[in-house]
Chains A and B, each alone.
Chain A
Amino acid sequence: MEKHLTQYQTVCFNLNGKDVERTVDVRASLTDLLRNDFRQTSVKKGCEVGECGACNVLIDGEAFNSCIYLAVWAEGKKVRTLEGLLGPNGELSDIQQAFVDESAIQCGFCSPGFILTAVEILESGKAYTDEELRKLLSGHLCRCTGYENILRAVKKTMYRRLGRELPQE
Chain B
Amino acid sequence: MYDMKALYQAESVQDAVALRLKHPEAQIIAGGSDVLVQMREGKRAGAELISVYGLDALRGVSLEADGTLRIGSLTSFSHITRDPLIQKYVNVLGEAVDQVGGPQIRNIGTIGGNTCNGVTSADSASTLFAYDATVELTGQDGVRRVPIQEFYIRAGKVDIRAGELQTAILISRESYEHTFGHYIKYAMRSAMDIATLGTSVNVRLSDDKKYVERARVAFGVAGPIPLRAETAEKTAAGARLSAELAEAFGAAVREDIHPRDSWRAARDFRMHIAVESAKRAFAEAVRLAGGEL
What is A's interface to B at a CB cutoff of 8 Å? 1, 3, 5, 7, 25-29, 32, 48-51, 53, 56, 62-65, 68-70, 72-73, 75, 117, 135-136, 138-140
CB of B41 within 8 A of CB of A49, answer yes
Count residues of B near A (Cβ-Cβ below 8 Å): 30
Distance of A5 Cα from B4 Cα, bound (Å): 11
Residues of chain B contacted by A62 (CB below 8 angstroms): 78, 107
Supposing A53-B104, A64-B108, A139-B192 touch, asked if A70 and B51 sit within 8 A by C-beta, the answer is yes
CB of A50 within 8 A of CB of B37, answer yes
CB of B5 within 8 A of CB of A53, answer no
CB of A72 within 8 A of CB of B40, answer no
* B 80-124 to A, binary, CB cutoff 8 A, 1 in contact else 0: 000000000000000000000111110110000000000000000
CB of B104 within 8 A of CB of A64, answer yes
Interface residues of B in 1-17 (CB under 8 A from A): 1-7, 9
Distance of A140 Cα from B36 Cα, bound (Å): 19
Supposing A27-B1, A27-B4, A138-B192 touch, asked if A65 and B104 sit within 8 A by C-beta, the answer is yes
> Is chain B's interface secondary structure helix, strand, loop, or mixed overall?
mixed
CB of B104 within 8 A of CB of A56, answer yes
Q: Is B266 an interface residue (CB 8 A)?
A: no
Distance of A63 Cα from B101 Cα, bound (Å): 13
Residues of chain A contacted by B192 (CB below 8 angstroms): 51, 138-139
Distance of A138 Cα from B36 Cα, bound (Å): 21
CB of B5 within 8 A of CB of A3, answer yes
Considering only CB atoms, which chain A residue lies closest to B53 in the complex?
Answer: A73
Residues of chain A contacted by B51 (CB below 8 angstroms): 70, 72-73
Residues of chain B contacted by A53 (CB below 8 angstroms): 102, 104
CB of A48 within 8 A of CB of B1, answer no
CB of A68 within 8 A of CB of B4, answer no
Q: Is B290 an interface residue (CB 8 A)?
A: no
- Distance in Å from the Cβ of A54 to the closest Cβ of chain B? 11
Distance of A28 Cα from B1 Cα, bound (Å): 5
* B 195-227 to A, binary, CB cutoff 8 A, 1 in contact else 0: 000000000000000000000000000000000
Q: What are 30 A-to-B residue pairs whose CB atoms are below 8 Å? A: A1-B48, A5-B6, A7-B6, A26-B4, A27-B3, A27-B7, A28-B1, A28-B2, A29-B1, A48-B40, A49-B40, A50-B33, A50-B101, A50-B104, A63-B107, A64-B108, A65-B108, A68-B32, A68-B33, A69-B32, A69-B108, A70-B29, A70-B36, A70-B51, A73-B51, A73-B54, A117-B103, A138-B102, A139-B103, A139-B191
Considering only CB atoms, which chain B residue lies closest to A141 in the complex?
Answer: B192
What is B's interface to A at a CB cutoff of 8 Å? 1-7, 9, 29, 32-33, 36-37, 40-41, 48, 51, 53-54, 78, 101-105, 107-108, 190-192
Residues of chain B contacted by A63 (CB below 8 angstroms): 103-104, 107
Considering only CB atoms, which chain B residue lies closest to A4 in the complex?
Answer: B5
CB of B3 within 8 A of CB of A50, answer no
Distance of A13 Cα from B194 Cα, bound (Å): 34
Residues of chain A contacted by B3 (CB below 8 angstroms): 27
Distance of A7 Cα from B155 Cα, bound (Å): 34
Supposing A3-B5, A26-B7, A50-B33 touch, asked if A139 and B105 sit within 8 A by C-beta, the answer is yes
Distance of A69 Cα from B29 Cα, bound (Å): 11
Distance of A15 Cα from B277 Cα, bound (Å): 46
CB of A68 within 8 A of CB of B103, answer no
- Distance in Å from the Cβ of A107 to the closest Cβ of chain B? 21
Considering only CB atoms, which chain A residue lies closest to B103 in the complex?
Answer: A139
Distance of A72 Cα from B192 Cα, bound (Å): 27
- Distance in Å from the Cβ of B7 to the closest Cβ of chain A? 4
Residues of chain A contacted by B104 (CB below 8 angstroms): 50, 53, 56, 63-65, 117, 139
